[in-house]
């Protein structure tokens, strides 16, 4: 097996983008629980995200969601991020919380609603120019609940037209990243349900249009690492939204539900040349409903790092030889040996060698930051999922 020391420099290439919305209160359809110290505005969300980077060195950028993170001065927010040692990353559009979008946004049959949704994306692109963001990430809640409710094909055509209009507006150094999801909030069909549909749409747009793979957006049992392989092979994997799920789009801590799946996904990323290149944004898309948010994000990025380290340990040469020989058990054994390696002590030492705490969870707990925000952030309205 590949040695732990030989993967040290590869580990240094890891950068995971945090979602601003993970630092607000969120919940289920039944209840959103408040928690002491929760950020009350985008500035406090960024401050909290920066603590994750401070203790892990893994999370140098923060994705924004518009309009949730709109502030009077984006320039001030950008400066605040930089003062805290992080940058502003992907801009996520939101066409799922306005009454006008009940029956769709960019696919709506009414041209006025479609234009409203397109204009929102133009506004997001304006924000990107101010933040210096590369990626505009589009997830659409568009879809229908009942057979016959709308013409699926006409909606697909309208989607193509709307995306083309948005794509024309992005800068030459920017990208449009389209996220698919097979259900929810629409339950009969969604207009971008799967990687193939997203791939067809972005391929029609051009080189700077890519697919975003949210790990929670597949039917149970889907072989997600196959999709990773295929999109990498096709040169169209633009970003990940990492999270984990037991049943639906649970948005739980990545690697919590199925660490082996996370390992398999990261193995395909590495195998396909998607690791250590800026071409793929490794984002989290999670909510922390019952656990503390900052340590929840620290745990998440550590889980990604841990499974990346294990995946880097796969002996590619030995694996290729076993595959060539048709040695089924040897090939599988090479992969499983890497997966079962406990890399935590070595990662602790690796962190210390880089001036980071060996145990970022403990370092955060000892830092006093949680107590400080719980004492200071009294009054005002806590940010929620959606604000």
Q: Which residues bind Mn ion (CB under 5 A)?
A: 214, 241, 285
Selection from ligand PSV, Mn ion, none that 21 binds (CB < 5 to 8 A by kind) is ligand PSV
d(C-alpha 119, C-alpha 107), whole Å: 14
CB atoms within 10 A of CB 144: 20
Going by DSSP bridges, is the β-strand pair 87-92/143-144 parallel, antiparallel, or unpaired? unpaired
- Please, which residue, 48 or 285, has the CB nearer to ligand PSV? 285
Helix axes of 111-131 and 74-83: crossing angle, nearest 10 degrees = 40
Selection from ligand PSV, Mn ion, none that 167 binds (CB < 5 to 8 A by kind) is none
Please report, as residue ranges, which positions from 205 to 224 form the binding site for ligand PSV (by CB under 6 A): 214
Minimum distance from CB of 16 to Mn ion (Å)?
14
Tokens at 73, concatenated: 């001065």
Q: Which of 50, 285, 304, 307 binds ligand PSV (CB under 6 A)?
A: 285
- Please, which residue, 181 or 351, has the CB nearer to ligand PSV? 181
Burial (0-12, 13-18, 19+ Cβ within 10 Å), 170: buried
The rounded Cα 72 to chain-centroid distance in angstroms is 26
Does position 350 interact with ligand PSV (CB under 6 A)? The reply is no
Helices (H) and strands (E) in the chain, counts: 14, 10
Minimum distance from CB of 330 to Mn ion (Å)?
38
Selection from Mn ion, ligand PSV, none that 180 binds (CB < 5 to 8 A by kind) is none
How far CA 242 is from CA of 137, 215, 329, 373, in Å, comes to 14, 6, 30, 27
Backbone torsion region of residue 346, taken as left when φ is above 0, otherwise alpha when ψ lies between -120 and 50, otherwise beta:
alpha
Does position 17 interact with ligand PSV (CB under 6 A)? The reply is no
Show the binding pattern over residues 151-170: x = contacts ligand PSV (CB under 6 A), - = does not: --------------------
Q: Which of 69, 249, 268, 306 binds ligand PSV (CB under 6 A)?
A: 249
Does position 21 interact with ligand PSV (CB under 6 A)? The reply is yes
Distance in Å from the first CA to the final CA of the chain: 47
Minimum distance from CB of 185 to ligand PSV (Å)?
9
- Please, which residue, 48 or 214, has the CB nearer to Mn ion? 214
Residue ranges binding ligand PSV (CB under 6 A): 21, 92, 139, 179, 181, 214, 241, 249, 285
């Amino acid at each position: 097996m590949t040695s732990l020391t030989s993967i040290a420099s590869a580990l240094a290439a890891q950068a995971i983008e945090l979602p601003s919305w993970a630092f607000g209160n969120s919940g289920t359809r039944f209840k959103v629980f408040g928690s002491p110290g929760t950020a009350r505005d985008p500035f406090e969300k960024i401050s909290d995200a920066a603590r994750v980077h401070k203790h892990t060195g893994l999370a140098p950028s923060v994705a924004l969601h518009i309009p949730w993170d709109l502030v009077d001065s984006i320039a001030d927010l950008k400066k605040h991020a930089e003062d805290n040692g992080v940058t502003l990353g992907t801009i996520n559009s939101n066409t799922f919380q306005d009454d006008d979008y009940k029956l769709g946004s960019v696919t709506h049959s009414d041209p006025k609603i479609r234009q409203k949704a397109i204009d929102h994306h133009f506004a997001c692109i304006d924000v990107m120019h101010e933040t210096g963001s590369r990626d505009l990430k589009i997830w659409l809640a568009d879809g229908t609940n009942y057979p016959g409710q709308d013409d699926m094909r006409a909606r697909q055509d309208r989607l193509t037209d709307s995306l083309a209009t948005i794509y024309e507006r992005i800068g030459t150094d920017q990208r449009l990243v389209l996220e698919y999801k097979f259900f929810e909030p629409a339950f009969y069909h969604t207009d971008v349900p799967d990687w193939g549909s997203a791939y067809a749409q972005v391929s029609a747009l051009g080189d700077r249009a890519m697919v975003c793979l949210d790990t929670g957006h597949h039917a149970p049992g889907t072989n997600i690492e196959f999709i990773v392989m295929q999109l990498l092979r096709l040169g169209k994997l633009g970003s990940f939204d990492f999270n984990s799920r037991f049943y639906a789009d649970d948005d739980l801590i990545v690697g919590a539900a199925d660490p082996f799946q996370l390992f398999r996904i990261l193995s395909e990323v590495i195998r396909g040349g998607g690791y250590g290149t800026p071409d793929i944004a490794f984002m989290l898309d999670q909510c922390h409903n019952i656990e503390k948010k900052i340590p929840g994000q620290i745990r998440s990025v550590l889980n990604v790092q841990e499974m990346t380290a294990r995946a880097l340990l796969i002996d590619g040469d030995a694996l290729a030889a076993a595959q060539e020989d048709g040695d089924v058990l040897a090939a599988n054994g090479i992969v499983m040996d890497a997966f079962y390696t406990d890399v935590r002590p070595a990662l602790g030492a690796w962190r210390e060698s880089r001036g980071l705490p060996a145990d970022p969870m403990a370092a955060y707990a000892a830092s006093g930051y949680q107590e400080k925000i719980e004492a200071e952030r009294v009054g005002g309205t806590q940010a929620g999922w959606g604000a």
